[in-house]
Structure 1
Amino acid sequence: MQQYLINDIYRATEGEGVFIGRSQVFVRFQGCAVGCINCDSMDTWSFEIEPTSIESIFEKVLEESYQGKINWISITGGDPLHPKHVPSVVALSKFLKEKGFKLNIEAAGTRVVDEVFENLDYISFDLKTPSTGVQTRLALIEKLAQNYDGKFQLKAVIADRKDFDYTLGAYRKLEESLGPVDFPWVLTPCFEPSEEFPMQRFIDIQEWNQLEGGPFRVIGQQHKWIYGADKKSV
């Protein structure tokens, strides 16, 4: 029987990316080996948690979604695409789709997993920037653009000018390999745990983007503005 390592299941309003403001139920998997330096969910890294069943997950999803009135589910983590999670995510995705839910996944930017992605309605994929200490291979983004056109957004956390320049360089390289970049590419100004609202960082990133002609969408993390940078499950 499939076992699921789940950190939390909760109802919230999407706080970042192109679907900011949309009501969703988040299913957060426990366990991640990516190791971003500026991660705001380090409590999800360990794989040591009591597993649960798909029946328990669905019961909680129904409760949090007001019996399906909220029909978008976001599968997040942790890293739901870690090989330990993939069989569970595939099974859960198929199950929830059969129940009529629409599915988004928060992908860490380290792998493209076709057996997961083909069951989803949308993919939110990270481009890891230098401040994270992790790197995303551009070949993965090329594969997304070729195989999942219209079905994904790219998100990059920007802490400083180095992150912005790196992301702009990636954009230019993808223009060379793919032609015009026509998928949504979001810059998320970094908002560190325990940090006050970094207004100047937001202003700087908007100005840098404008000076380059606005190739990106600059979208902050709304939930952190409302609840603060440390509040979980919101």
Structure 2
Amino acid sequence: MISEIFSSIMGEGNFIGRRYIFVRFKGCPLNCIYCDEYVKDNIPCRVEEIPGSGEFKECPDIEDKLIDVIGKLKTPDLFAVSFTGGEPLLYSNEIKKYSEILHDLGYKTHLESNGMYPDRISFFDYASIDIKLPEHFNDIKIEDYEKLYKNELKSIKKLYDLGSNVYAKIVIMENTDPVVIGDIAKDLSDIGNIMLCIQPVSSCLNVKSLPTQKKLLDIMELCGAHLNDNVICTSQMHKYLGML
């Protein structure tokens, strides 16, 4: 269920640069071409006991020790505990249980999800939903994409209605149509006061060409017509710093 736990900075999105404890979960039904977090299910969980050391210790029974491990990694500058993946809502019941315990202990929680499971959403202090685009996949049927997008919007609305500080994040590629992102911004504005983070794709094995500076600025301008200044552009800062 859990692949790794470590303390680091949030490298993307609305809370970039904040100190987090990341609890990464295995598995995801999607297959985005830029994904860099594929984890095999048969690999035991590991914990970076000394943050920033790059040295991990196997902890195969982590599910029973999670709260204690988080307590040992807690630092005075900690902003929140992130449930990330993979797709963490594959384990929504377990995450809800962990979240309730952590809240009782005074922690803030953050969900990082692709939003495909709106019925599994519960309250988190913070949440980021990755809105996918057709070009994020090698091959996706239009009806499957439309269903995914509707579920992403449902997840954002449910989190917003629950009182979570939720924002949307979209990975921008060379072939992304700015008008499409502007339309997404309109849909987000219909939900409420939602921040949209646009993120230029990181160069990887499957993606070589990056969006131009002009495209990023054009997208921000189009989104601003609906979201005003509730749109930001963030890269994956942790990769530039060589951090987890």
Q: 1:152 — aligned with what?
A: 166
State yes or no: 1:91 paired with 2:85: no
State yes or no: 1:60 paired with 2:69: yes
Q: 2:57 — aligned with what?
A: none
- CA distance in 2: counterparts of 1:109 and 1:33, whole angstroms: 12
Q: Which amino acid letter does the alignment assign opposite residue 159 of structure 1?
A: M
State yes or no: 1:37 paired with 2:41: no
User: Which of 195, 200, 204 is the aligned partner of 1:184?
Assistant: 195
- CA distance in 2: counterparts of 1:160 and 1:152, whole angstroms: 27
- CA distance in 1: counterparts of 2:95 and 2:220, whole angstroms: 39
In the TM superposition, 1:117-128 aligns within 5 A as 117-118=122-123, 120-128=124-132
Cα deviation code 1:152-171 (max 9, x no counterpart): 00000011242543322322
Gaps of 5+ in 1: 228-232
Q: 2:115 — aligned with what?
A: 109
Q: 1:220 — aligned with what?
A: 235
Structure 1 residues 41 and 211, CA, compared in 2 at 3 Å: closer, same or farther? same
Structure 1 residues 34 and 86, CA, compared in 2 at 3 Å: closer, same or farther? same
**Fraction of identical pairs, as percent:** 23
Instruction: Say if 1:40 and 1:192, in contact at 8 Å, map to a contact too.
Output: no
Q: Compare 206-215 and 97-106 and name the one that shifted more.
A: 206-215
**C-alpha displacement at 1:211, in angstroms?**
4.5
- CA distance in 1: counterparts of 2:188 and 2:71, whole angstroms: 41
Q: Compare 25-34 and 138-147 and name the one that shifted more.
A: 138-147
Structure 1 residues 95 and 210, CA, compared in 2 at 3 Å: closer, same or farther? closer
**C-alpha displacement at 1:151, in angstroms?**
2.1
- CA distance in 2: counterparts of 1:95 and 1:26, whole angstroms: 16
**C-alpha displacement at 1:71, in angstroms?**
4.8
Cα deviation code 1:64-109 (max 9, x no counterpart): 213x762510110111012xx1221111111211221100010112
- CA distance in 2: counterparts of 1:126 and 1:48, whole angstroms: 26
Task: For residue 123 of structure 1, give the secondary structure of its aligned residue in structure 2.
Answer: strand
Q: 1:79 — aligned with what?
A: 87
Q: 1:138 — aligned with what?
A: 150
Q: Which amino acid letter does the alignment assign opposite residue 74 of structure 1?
A: S
Q: Kindly tell me the number of residue pairs found equivalent between the two proteins.
A: 214
Instruction: Say if 1:197 and 1:225, in contact at 8 Å, map to a contact too.
Output: no
User: Which of 165, 184, 201 is the aligned partner of 1:170?
Assistant: 184
Compute the TM-score of the two structures, normalised by the length of structure 1. 0.78
Q: 1:17 — aligned with what?
A: 13
Structure 1 residues 23 and 74, CA, compared in 2 at 3 Å: closer, same or farther? same
Please, what is the CA RMSD of the aligned residues?
2.9
Q: Which amino acid letter does the alignment assign opposite residue 26 of structure 1?
A: F
- CA distance in 1: counterparts of 2:79 and 2:221, whole angstroms: 39
Q: Which amino acid letter does the alignment assign opposite residue 93 of structure 2?
A: P
Instruction: Say if 1:150 and 1:183, in contact at 8 Å, map to a contact too.
Output: no
**C-alpha displacement at 1:110, in angstroms?**
1.2
Structure 1 residues 60 and 161, CA, compared in 2 at 3 Å: closer, same or farther? same
- CA distance in 1: counterparts of 2:205 and 2:152, whole angstroms: 33
Compute the TM-score of the two structures, normalised by the length of structure 2. 0.75
**C-alpha displacement at 1:213, in angstroms?**
6.5
